[in-house]
Amino acid sequence: MNSEFLILMKQEMGVTLILFILLFLKIWDGIKENGILLHLINVLLLLNFLLGFVLNQNGELFNGMFATNSLRVMEKSVLNLGTLIISLQAYDYLKSHKHLLEFFMLLLSTLLGMFFMISSNNLLMFYLGIELSSIPLAAMANFDMDKIKSSEAAVKMILSSAFASALMLFGISFLYGTSGTLNFQELVSLITGSPLQVFALLLVFSGFAFKLSAVPFHLWTADVYEGAPVAVTSYLSVISKAAIVFVTLSSLAPLFSHLNEMWYHLLFVTIILTITLGNIFAIRQDNIKRFLAFSSISQVGFILLGISSGTATGATSAIYFLVVYIFSNLGAFGVIALLSSQTGKENISDLKGFYQTNPLMGWVLAISLFSLGGIPPTAGFFGKMFLVTAGAAKGNYVLITIAALNMVISLYYYLRVVKAIFMDKNETPVEPLRGSLSLRLALLICMIGVVGTGFAGGFFEHIYQLAAK
Amino acid sequence: MNASTMVFYILSAVILGGALLSVTAKKIFRAAVFLLFSLIGIAGLYFYLNYEFIAAVQIVVYVGGIVVLIIFSIFLTHESGRDMKEPSMISNLFAVFACCFAAALTYLFIKEEHFNATPNPTLEPSARNIGTQMLDITRYGYILPFEAVSILLLAAMIGCIVIAIKLKPKE
């Protein structure tokens, strides 16, 4: 304990510290200028991100309630980077917002929850982490105070996440009842596949599927994404999803390793439904936030495909894909945030002729969509390729064929947006948008990420080294 | 059948009867009151198992807090005096099916499961022990979840205040 405790929990400590600094700034009320506050917050978030690169150490605390290793530290750094990019992108939106500090307090508490969840080695901490990362998010979905749709999004989010938590808690209680322990390491050997434990797996998996918005638990996603402010939508679709996938990889899949037959069948059905239905609904959308919501559902299907292989390569490809997905999705959301905050338009039909007036932004959006669709040479191509290759290792070609067919369908709707940007004629295209410096910086980071991650060959190897340990 | 088993069956009857009346009641306010009985029955079950602390929490939080909250919100949002709409025959039928299925499933689970797990560590569940453990940083201490819950409450309060607060319009 003592100093070891500070080092092992450094990222959690960092987030909590920033949380309290913001709380005191709110009470002090000394800085009236939102712009200065935002820059200050971004610097703090940057420092917190950098914290992931120093003093890395493996270990356990609180009798195994909290465990950390280099892979978990890296996962947390990825989430930190994503949060920083979102914060940079939200500059224009938050500059005039009355509750700027509260926005970040809630954001950071959800981030803390995700960190606890990733580091949890115990069902109790894991459950608390999930709650901490979803309840404040519902309040954040309501941050467009004067829009009724935003409130609707918040209500739908809180109800669906309460339902998911209830399912998961029911499953956890069965696990505890049959094994008498909450500790993951002790549980693994005690989960032998009695009917009650299989039922528990089903319940816990359903809770996860809710949070991941995998079909058939996806119904809340589109409404919440559409109603929430763009900054919150991007946070929901990228950061909270990534955190859940990380936990699935590091805790859930190993926990039920004795039931891997069941686990694979569950994933098999979920993957097919998720990829196919996500795609079919994405084709029909005109609102770009709804469009990205359904496209993200289908992306989750691909991530699950990588997870289903159950190997270190599968885990690595899922993590790699998530990093790429963070960059590409945030690139798209950054442009949408700018469009929405300056013109209030959020439809694909408004993007017609976008290239004539905003060539640079048009390219950024197009490259992001290319990466989401998996077109080379963007990193999205490599991400999808690794995922499908890892999924194919099981030799289930039905699954792979369906996934591959769906990749073709997804190209159609991503390219439909690109066509609207570059080729469609429009008499009254969107006027030239002027993004703030921090937004442009965020988009630059995203573009470097989208192109660079694909070519930095050592990155995949690096994750593999960490995951294989 | 000895006295202890009798008590168990009486408590179960209160819980299940309260729950059944709660879902079949015509007036929503009555449904909330029947729910109250069901929850008190569960508290009784905890007493029966000698978990006094959890029984007290059950009464304070669920019976005292949550049901009162439900009743308040019924008064605020719903015309509590009016009868609710009669559910259709089909939904009644499916509800009965669902109940039978759930009962059968539960029976099968319990029949198959041996429940030989012993809680680790075995501790007297007294309020003193629970309190000490919750703030304990040594073996089997629960200080970390305790702190995480405090952050969760802080965040929930901030969220509520932000949503509920009405700022005066600037002149």
Cβ contacts of B156 on chain A, cutoff 8 Å: 135-136, 139
Interface-testing mutation among B151, B153, B154, B165, with chain A (most A C-beta atoms within 10 A): B151
CATH number at residue B101: 1.20.120.1200
Give the chain A residue whose CA is nearest to the CA of B119: A180
Highest mean pLDDT among A12-26, A248-262, B136-150: A12-26
| Cα-trace Rg, chain B | 22
Question: Percentage of chain A surpassing pLDDT 90?
Answer: 41
The whole-number pLDDT of residue B40 equals 93
State the residue range of the domain holding B81: 3-110+123-164
3-state secondary structure (DSSP) of residue B98: helix
* pLDDT tens for each residue of A107-154: 999 999 999 999 988 899 999 999 999 999 999 998 888 888 888 999
The whole-number pLDDT of residue B169 equals 61
| Interface contact flag, B144 A62, Cβ < 8 Å | yes
Tell me: pLDDT of A5 over 90: no
Q: What is the ipTM of this complex?
A: 0.88
A15: left (phi over 0), alpha (psi -120 to 50) or beta: alpha
Tell me: pLDDT of A235 over 90: yes
Higher pLDDT, A396 or B12: B12
| Interface contact flag, B115 A194, Cβ < 8 Å | no
| Tokens standing for residue A211 | 């949070």
Is residue B136 situated within a structural domain?
yes
The whole-number pLDDT of residue B12 equals 94
Tell me: pLDDT of B88 over 80: yes
* B20 and chain A in contact, CB less than 8 A: no
Tell me: pLDDT of A352 over 90: no
The whole-number pLDDT of residue A309 equals 85
Question: Percentage of chain A surpassing pLDDT 70?
Answer: 100
* B2 and chain A in contact, CB less than 8 A: no
pLDDT band for A467, please (50, 70, 90 cuts).
confident
* pLDDT tens for each residue of A310-330: 888 889 999 999 999 999 999
Mean pLDDT over each residue of chain A, to the nearest integer: 88
What is the residue type of A382? F
Cβ contacts of B140 on chain A, cutoff 8 Å: 63
Is residue B101 situated within a structural domain?
yes
Is residue B154 situated within a structural domain?
yes
The whole-number pLDDT of residue A459 equals 83
Number of domain units in chain B: 1
Tell me: pLDDT of A11 over 80: yes
The whole-number pLDDT of residue B117 equals 65
Contacts of A438 (CB under 8 A, 6+ apart): A38, A39, A42, A88, A89, A91
Is residue B128 situated within a structural domain?
yes
* pLDDT tens for each residue of B100-128: 999 999 898 888 877 776 665 567 777 88
Number of domain units in chain A: 1
Mean pLDDT over each residue of chain B, to the nearest integer: 85
| Interface contact flag, A180 B140, Cβ < 8 Å | no
State the residue range of the domain holding A270: 2-467
Is residue B117 situated within a structural domain?
no
